[in-house]
Amino acid sequence: MTNPAAEERPDLLLAGRAVTPDGLVPSLVAVTDGKVSGVRDLSDEPAFPGVPVYRLAADEVLLPGLVDTHVHVNEPGRTHWEGFATATKAAAAGGVTTIVDMPLNSLPPTIDTASLEMKRAAAAGQCWVDVAFWGGAVPGNEPDRGGLHRAGVRGFKCFLADSGVPEFPPLDPAGLRQAAAQVAELGSVLLVHAEDPEYLGEACRADYAAFLRSRPSRAETSAIEAVIEAARHTGVRAHILHVSSADALELLSAGRAEGLRVSGETCPHYLALAAEEVPAGATEFKCCPPIRERANADLLWHGLLAGVIDCVVSDHSPCPPELKLPDAGDFAKAWGGIASLQLSLAVVWTYGRERGCRVPDLARWMAASPAELAGLTDKGRIAVGCDADLVAFAPDANFVVEPGALEHRHKLTPYSGRRLTGVVRRTWLRGREIFSADHSSAARVAAAGPAGQLL
């Protein structure tokens, strides 16, 4: 355990089982000026008269605040899809204390410094959690990428197939190689939506099986092979977004064995949902890459537990319900994306604990590893010097997903009516309580107010 160098009077103490670098251990966590100033054995509790103490209940554990590096906030330009206020409230309610916003589907997309400043201006003053930003790598913005890097974007996202919005076009093979070389020179990270358009077909209306056949595993593995080849020739730090196919695991393992700096993430929906269970026309399940079969999900869990996959993030990609075409049930034309930011922790825990997942695994997959990916060195750990972003989590409590209780702007979710295990009871951002399950949403708003910073 780590002790503060001096008996400095903290602003807050939290006592109970905590996930620290030493594992899940009884701990006393001290918070001073928004930072973790001490982590010591719970039996060694100093007296600080008047300092508030939050004592975790017997069924609670203290997690580091989660870091979700794959969130589409959509503001400005498509704030009617989502927005910084609603997305970050949902994050806080789900134990997520930092999000990294994707460069699309806002208007304009974050592909130059002017659009980054527009996004920062839109976010200012309405964020309940801390927010960082990815930049985009699209054809023609090569001269702008250096400026974006200097302005503080955490890395660059690109598509290899149609992104779904015309203002964020994909890179061709030559563009991928050029972006990899440039991002490597900048010392940044290249994030890739890895689907090869050569293998993508046309989906049919209400038939999910036909939609799944239109986006086969081969589309994903072919694109990942191209990314690995680019990493081999440029040395770029490359990260594969939303791995949906277990066929990718061998490629990631081989790339690392070769010494390449390649990593991958997956998402709660690929771990929890299964193609066989998608009802006809249930377009709330549509995302790209698609949800695959249960056997594939089992293999993804194996890769996650084995360390082949590094992170679990939401890929929160909401839209107005009408864009999901619920009446037509048309998988070909419906918007592809799942809104799950508030539910990610409970979904992963519900389906992971039966496979041997333990609470410290959640902290690694959903806090420490995403923070490392985005270079957020003060985030993702309960350790001295880190931001006091903390979550009181009840791993054995459960709840039924009621869409009306979600803080997302739109409530359509494939998890509606499911019983999930794992309840976020409280969330702190730099030692300030930003969510409490004891109070209504209106009470939380009045008591706290937006406290998030733009990173």
Question: Domain containing 128 — which CATH number?
Answer: 3.20.20.140
Residue at 261: amino acid letter: R
294, 276 in Cβ contact below 8 A? yes
Place of tokens 């302005």: 151
Q: Distance between CA 141 and CA 338 in Å, rounded?
A: 28
What pLDDT is stored for residue 1 in this prediction?
A: 46
pLDDT interval class at 37 (50, 70, 90) = very high
* pLDDT value, residue 49: 86
- Is position 455 within any domain? no
- Label residue 5 by pLDDT band (50, 70, 90): very low
Q: Does residue 320 sit within a domain?
A: yes
pLDDT of 291 over the 90 cut: yes
In a domain, 173, yes or no: yes
Lookup: tokens for 185: 């020179």
The pLDDT of residue 438 is 83
Q: Is residue 163 part of a domain?
A: yes
Report residue 19's pLDDT band, with 50, 70 and 90 as the boundaries: very high
Using left for φ > 0, alpha for ψ between -120 and 50, and beta otherwise, residue 281 falls in left
Per-residue confidence (pLDDT) for residue 132, from 0 to 100: 98
Predicted confidence at residue 204, as pLDDT, reads 65
Which range has the top average pLDDT, 324-333, 389-398, 446-455? 389-398
User: Binning pLDDT at 50, 70 and 90, where does residue 182 land?
Assistant: very high
pLDDT tens figures, 402-451 = 999 999 999 999 999 999 999 999 999 999 999 999 865 444 544 567 99
Task: Supply the pTM of this predicted model.
Answer: 0.96
What do you get for the CA distance between the two ends of the chain, in Å?
29
Q: Which residues 6+ apart lie within 8 Å of 375 measured at CB? A: 154, 189
Give the tokens for residue 290. Answer: 């698609």
Structural domain of residue 302, as residue ranges?
65-373
In a domain, 186, yes or no: yes
Taking only the tens place, the pLDDT of each residue in 244-279 is 999 999 999 999 999 999 999 999 999 999 999 999
Percent of the chain topping pLDDT 90: 91
Q: How many domains does the chain have?
A: 1
Checking if the pLDDT of 92 tops 50, the result is yes
